[in-house]
Amino acid sequence: MSVVSVARPIFSGGTGRSGTTVLAKLLRCHPEVRASKPLEIRCVTDSAGLLDVCLGPTPDAPWTVKVLALVPGGMTRQFDSRMRKQWWERTNRLGRSSGLHRAMSEQQREEMIRKLHLSVKADSARAGREFLDDLMKAQGVTSERFWVDTSPPNAVCADRIFQVAPDALFVHMVRDGRDTAASVLAEPWGPSTPQTAIAWWEGRMRRAHHSLGKVPGQQVLTVSLEDLVVREREATYAELLDFLGLSDRPRMRRYFSEEMPADRVNVGAWASRVADPQMLESLYVQARDRLRQEGIEVHERI
Residues 6 or more apart whose Cβ sits within 8 Å of residue 10: 27, 33, 146, 147, 148, 149, 168, 169, 170, 171, 244
Q: Give the architecture-level CATH label for domain 8-293.
A: 3-Layer(aba) Sandwich (3.40)
pLDDT, position 92: 85
Mean pLDDT of 60-81: 94
**Hey, where are the domains in the chain?**
8-293
Does the pLDDT at position 61 exceed 60? yes
CB 299 within 8 A of CB 175: yes
Minimum mean pLDDT range among 1-10, 115-124, 167-176, 196-205? 1-10
Mean pLDDT along residues 74-95: 94
3-state secondary structure of 180: helix
* 296: three-class secondary structure by DSSP: coil
pTM of the model: 0.95
Question: Which residues, in sequence order, are bridge partners of residue 173?
Answer: 14, 223
Burial degree of 186 (CB within 10 A; 0-12, 13-18, 19+): exposed
pLDDT digits (tens, 9 = 90+) for 239-297: 999 999 999 999 999 999 999 988 888 888 999 999 999 999 999 999 999 999 999 99
What is the predicted pLDDT for the residue at 302? 59
CB 154 within 8 A of CB 148: no
Tell whether the model's pLDDT for residue 176 goes beyond 90.
Answer: yes
3-state SS, 86-129, equals CCCCEECCCCCEECHHHCCCHHHHHHHHHHHHHHCCCCHHHHHH
| C-alpha closest to that of 193 among 279, 282, 93 | 279
* 195 SS3 class: helix
Rg (CA), the chain: 19
- Residue 146 per-residue DSSP state: E
Contacts of 243 by beta carbon, 8 Å cutoff, 6+ apart: 169, 171, 221
pLDDT tens digits along 258-270: 999 888 888 889 9
Give the whole-angstrom CA distance, residue 231 versus residue 59: 39
Any residues with CB less than 8 A from the CB of 75 and at least 6 apart, and which?
48, 52, 53, 56, 57, 65, 68, 69
SS3 state at 246: coil
